[in-house]
Structures are given as structure tokens and as C-alpha cells.
Amino acid sequence: MTNALGLDLGASGIRGYLAGESKAVAEISLGATAGNREADAISLIRQLAKDFPEHEISTACLGMSGYSSLGVQADAISDAIAESFGAKEVIVTSDMVTSHFAHFKNSFGVVVVVGTGSLAFGIGAKTHARIDGLGATLGDFGSGYWIGHQAIRLAMRASETTADHELLAALEGQVGPSDQWPRLLAKAEISAFEIAGLAKIVSGLATNGQALAVGIMHEAGEMAATSAIRCATKVDVSNISYGGSVLSEGNPVALSAFLAAVSEAGFSPEPMVAMPGQGALELASSTFPGRTDYLAEQQLATKRKYK
């Protein structure tokens, strides 16, 4: 039996999964930055290995954000995994791939994940497609970052042009006085992850009916739906799986907007049943070697073997 390891790395940190465990057995809540994704990923991998329970690993798979879009050297990351965990075979791929495999296994369909960032990824009988997953500066429409950034902008605008200060006051309670916001943003003194964290405040206000917050969360849900629908159309499938904090039951305004748009377009939405790290674990287990070969052929994954 293969002693497999699944790894999931993104803006919120890195997590490790082993067979027979329902949740991560080790994690570090410190994400890899977009500007130093490769170096940060290698550092986090090495840190996680030190805290990892003693276990003989033969095959490992890492799903990471930025694999396709940030020009990372997957071979260097693969080497770090092999060195740190003693794996003899390593697969490095995108978290969009592991998210898809977590839900659909070897079947066709589209997965849309909206958390700190956002993306939709689909595999059909003849092709695959990605929508978004381009990072906060270029994309991530409807994501936690988008929600937080949009809230900052609209709250400031409303405070200057209307008598609506409710959203502004709530955000100031988290990030400080609004007269300091221009400096925080211009000098990047507030991280993308911290901005994404403001989505919780916006969601809470939206649930209570605050007009600005409702509009932001509703638009976020519709943006996620647009990505999912377009991706499903490209790969010619009807089933769409959704996940991530923005599309959770804790965000009813965004979730209802998403479900309404997807269903109205004639697609069948269903929640994800497993975490991306568990998808990585199953890819590492070689249950479906044909899928990993396909991913490598399509340059969606890097596979390396070690002695």
C-alpha cells in the first residue's frame, strides 16, 4: 500500500493530510506571498516537515495556489518535498486541480472555489478550462479579497457622499481610522490576507440587511456564478461543485446569489464534499494514474521520481 501524503498550500497557510485522517494532521497558518511564492512555499514545506508526525512517505502531492500563474519552479519545490519528507515520487500541481479531484475524482465537471482568492476549473471529455485564479491585482473576482477591498472603497465613498457610515465604522474597528487607509494600501502595510479577512465583517452586516454590504456580497456570488457557468460551457459539462468560505452557508447572501444564477442558467450546483488537500492525497495515492499522466501531459502538473 502506498504511504501517500497530500499537501495544500495557499494564502491562508499549508496543511498536510494522511490516509485514514479526516482532517489535516499538521498545518501552519502562514501563507506563501505572491511576490515570493516559490521561496515561501519551500520554507513552509520544510517547517511543516519538522512538525509532522513520524510517518514513512513514498508518494506526495502538493496543490498550491500560483502554480500556473506565478511562474514558480515546480522542480525546486518538488525537490524540497522529497528532501523534507523522504518521498520517492512527488507531484506538484495547482490547488484548482486538487480541488477538482477532491470532489470529482476521475469524473468530469467544474469546481469553483471562492475563498481568499477565486477560480473555476473544469475538465470535460475533450478539454479543460480555467476561469480566474489570477491573483488579487488582476482577478480573484468575488473572492474574500475582492469583498474586503470593495468594502473599503465603497465604505469610504459612502461616508463622503452620503450619511451612511455603518460599514465604514465596522471596518475601522478592524483596520483602524479611515484617514490612515490611503497609506496602508499605498505602502502595502495591510496584506491581501488581512483585506480578505474583512469579508467576515461585510458578510455579517449583509446578513443583517446593511445595504452596502448586501450589494457587495450579492455581487460576489454572481461573479462566482459567472466564472462557473462560463467554465462549464467551455468544457461542455452540466455539473458544478462549489466551495470556499465565500460560498459557505455562513455567507447566505453570496451563496443564494450564486445558486440562483447557476440554477437559472441550467446547471446543477452541489457543495464540495472534500478539501483540496484530500484531493492531493488521493492523487498521491495513485488510485487514478491516468489522471496524473493527463495532468502532466497538459502541463497542469509536474511529476518527479527520486531514488
> Which pLDDT band, with edges at 50, 70 and 90, does 234 fall under?
very high
User: How confident is the model over 253-271, as pLDDT tens digits?
Assistant: 999 999 999 999 999 899 9
Q: What is the 3-state secondary structure (H, E, C) of the chain?
A: CCCEEEEEEECCEEEEEECCCCCCCEEECCCCCCCCHHHHHHHHHHHHHHHCCCCCCCEEEEEECCCCCCCCCHHHHHHHHHHHHCCCEEEEEEHHHHHHHHHHCCCCEEEEEECCCEEEEEECCCCEEEEECCCCCCCCCCCHHHHHHHHHHHHHHHHHHCCCCHHHHHHHHHHCCHHHHHHHHHCCCCCHHHHHHCHHHHHHHHHCCCHHHHHHHHHHHHHHHHHHHHHHHHHCCCEEEEECHHHCCCCHHHHHHHHHHHHHCCCEEEECCCCHHHHHHHHHCCCCHHHHHHHHHCCCEEEEECC
Q: What is the mean pLDDT of the chain?
A: 89
| Residue spans per domain, the chain | 4-95+276-305
- In this prediction, residue 31 has a pLDDT band, given cuts at 50, 70 and 90, of low
Residue 146 has pLDDT above 90, yes or no: yes
Q: Is the pLDDT of residue 129 over 70?
A: yes
What is the structure's pLDDT at 50?
Answer: 86
Determine contact, residues 276/102, Cβ cutoff 8 Å: yes
The amino acid occupying position 181 is W
Indicate if the pLDDT at residue 34 is higher than 60.
no
pLDDT at 12: 75
pLDDT tens figures, 157-216: 999 998 889 999 999 999 999 999 999 999 989 988 899 999 999 999 999 999 999 999
Residue 218 binned pLDDT confidence (cut-offs 50, 70, 90): very high
Q: Which of the pair, 146 or 279, is modelled with greater confidence?
A: 146
Q: What is the pTM of this model?
A: 0.86
pLDDT in the model for residue 33: 62
Residue recorded with cell 468544457: 235
The whole-number pLDDT of residue 293 equals 82
Quickly state the pLDDT bin for 1 (edges 50, 70, 90): very low
Task: Convert 241-255 to b/e letters by CB count within 10 Å (16 or more is b).
Answer: bbbbbbbbeebebbb
For 65-98, the pLDDT digits (tens) are: 878 766 678 888 999 999 999 899 999 998 889 9
Q: Is residue 2 scored above 80 in pLDDT?
A: no
pLDDT at residue 20 in the model: 77
pLDDT of residue 17 exceeding 80: yes
Query: What is the pLDDT confidence band of residue 287, given thresholds at 50, 70 and 90?
Result: low
Higher pLDDT, 192 or 119: 119
CATH 3.30.70 for the 4-95+276-305 domain, yes or no: no
pLDDT at 206: 96
pLDDT value of residue 142: 97
pLDDT-derived band at 32 (thresholds 50, 70, 90) equals: low
